[in-house]
Structure 1
Amino acid sequence: MWIFITLFAAGCQSVRTAYQNTLARETGFLHATMSRSLYGLPLVSVYLVICWQLFGWVSVEKNLVFVVAASICAITQIMATYFMLRAFQAGSFALGTLLSKTEAVLAALIGLPLLHYTLTMGAWFGIAFGVLGAIVMSVKWNNIRQAHKDVSLLLGLASGLCFAITSVTSSIASHSLSGSLITSAGVTLWYVLALQSIILCGIQIYKSKDILAPFRHEFALSCKVGVLSSLGSIGWFTGFALVNPALVKTLGQIEIIGTLYYSKVRFSEKMTTQQWIGGAMIVISVILVVTSTIK
């Protein structure tokens, strides 16, 4: 089940990221980051009500673990999205997206002591191979000694780290609730989006001195970003609740196919042979992880 959910989430995220990149160019990083939470919250609210009716409610009273984990999840996801959008500007859409995919191995490492999940040797090899593919794709080998000064590389890696923390903390938050895991994931997602909306709308209103600022720029495009983001997040958060987040994020790297398509067709970016090789390695890593975990 988690495989199909993850593939759905990856497809939605691939399209959403392309729209969000366009939105960032038109309105700036703050609005583009805010749109995924504020404009996605209504759909997630409807989804949560459906989960409530189908699977029952969960206990959320006086749950400090949930509040702390979900709040960290909300903040790190804001940071991850911001770093990724900055990486787009510093490098390219394809490189920014693919560098953020280092989150898979980071989620595995962070999740070991916190979630007590175990991985097979095949899964570890697949995760490591995918990260190696991201490195092959992004590092300029003729200037390897200066790689630590590459802004797009650093921003992409920072995005990957923040996304990894997001994955692990969302899983912790969902598992801290008693009741259906599907509803728990929905509650976690709703809380995360609501907190993000309050934080980012507050910043945007403060900077613009306009209470309607979040709704004045590219409304139709913002709605597309929000809807696609909410659909993708429903898939991600449900997957995180069901299995090891590292497996979900590694399989989610299949979105590289959509990334390469939008990079070439929508943004007219050219891919080098080195980048194609790195991309192929990431796809192979996805296959390795899936085949090693299916029983």
Structure 2
Amino acid sequence: MWIFITLFAAACQSARTAYQNTLAHETGLLHATMSRSLYGLPLVSVYLVMCWQIFGWVSFEKKLVFVVAASVCAIAQIMATYFMLRTFQSGSFALGILLSKTEAVLVALIGLPLLHYTLTVGAWIGIAFGVLGAIVMSVKWQNIRQAHKDISLVLGLASGLCFAIASVMASIASHSLSGSIITSAGVTLWYVLALQSIILCGLQIYKSKDILAPFKHEFALSFKVGILSSMGSIGWFTGFALVNPALVKTLGQIEIIGTLYYSKVRFAEKMTKQQWVGGVMILISVMLVVTSTIK
């Protein structure tokens, strides 16, 4: 089940990120970051009500754990999205996505002491192979000695780290609730988007001195970003609640296919042979993870 949910989430995120990149150029980083939460919250609210009616409600037995974990998740996602959009501006659309995909191995490492999940040898090989593929695709080998000075590399890796923290915290928050795991994931997602909306709308209103600022810029495009983001987030958060987030994020690297499509067709970026090789490595890593977890 988690495999199909993750594939759905990856497809939605690939399209959402492309639209969000366009939105960032049109309205700026703050609005583009805010749109995924504010404009996605209504759909997630409807989804949560449906989960409540179908699977039942949850109890907050570990309320403090939930609030802390979900709040850290919300802030980490804001930072991750901001760093990723900055990478787009300093590098390229494809580069930003690829570098953020280092989150797969970071999720595995962060999750080991916090989630107490175990991974098979095949899964570890797949995760490592996927990260290596992302590096092959993104690093300019002739400038390898100066790689640490490349702002695109730094921003992309920062994005991956923040996304990894968000994934692990989402899993912790969902498992701190008692009841249906599907509803628990929905509650966590709703809280995260609500908190992000409050923070980012507040910043945008303060900056512009206009209470209606979040709704005045590229409403249709912002709405597309929000809807795609909410559908993708429903998939991600449900996946995190069902299995090890490291597996979800590694399988989610299938999003690279969509990234290459949008990079070439929508943004007219050219792919090098090196990037194609890295892309194939990432696809192989996905197959390794999937085959090592299917029994």
TM range (shorter): over 0.9
* Counterpart for residue 256 of structure 1: 256
Deviations along 1:232-253, whole A, 9 cap, x unmatched?
Answer: 0000000000000000000000
Deviations along 1:5-45, whole A, 9 cap, x unmatched?
Answer: 00000000000000000000000000000000000000000
* Counterpart for residue 90 of structure 2: 90
Conserved in 1, the CA contact under 8 Å of 2:254 and 2:286?
Answer: yes
Deviations along 1:234-283, whole A, 9 cap, x unmatched?
Answer: 00000000000000000000010000000000000001111111111111
What letter corresponds to residue 97 of structure 1 in structure 2?
A: I
| SS of 1:211 mapped into structure 2 | coil
**Percent identity over the alignment?**
88
Q: Across the two proteins, how many residue pairs are aligned to each other?
A: 295
* Counterpart for residue 293 of structure 1: 293
* Counterpart for residue 149 of structure 2: 149
**Alignment pair present for 1:117 and 2:125:** no
Query: Structure 1 segments of 4 or more deviating over 3 A?
Result: none
What letter corresponds to residue 237 of structure 2 in structure 1?
A: F
Q: TM-score, normalised by structure 2?
A: 0.99
CA distance in 2, matches of 1:143, 1:214: 41
Counterparts of 1:145-224 in structure 2, within 5 Å, are: 145-224=145-224
What letter corresponds to residue 238 of structure 1 in structure 2?
A: T
What letter corresponds to residue 4 of structure 2 in structure 1?
A: F
Counterparts of 1:1-295 in structure 2, within 5 Å, are: 1-60=1-60, 63-295=63-295
Conserved in 1, the CA contact under 8 Å of 2:175 and 2:181?
Answer: yes
| SS of 1:287 mapped into structure 2 | helix
- Once the two structures are TM-superposed, the CA of residue 60 in structure 1 deviates from its matched residue by 2.3
Deviations along 1:68-104, whole A, 9 cap, x unmatched?
Answer: 0000000000000000000001110001001100000
CA distance in 2, matches of 1:157, 1:279: 18
- Once the two structures are TM-superposed, the CA of residue 143 in structure 1 deviates from its matched residue by 1.1
- Once the two structures are TM-superposed, the CA of residue 142 in structure 1 deviates from its matched residue by 0.8
CA distance in 1, matches of 2:232, 2:121: 29
Computed over aligned residues only, the root mean square deviation of the Cα atoms, in angstroms, reads 0.6
What letter corresponds to residue 266 of structure 1 in structure 2?
A: R
CA distance in 1, matches of 2:103, 2:144: 22
CA distance in 1, matches of 2:283, 2:87: 22
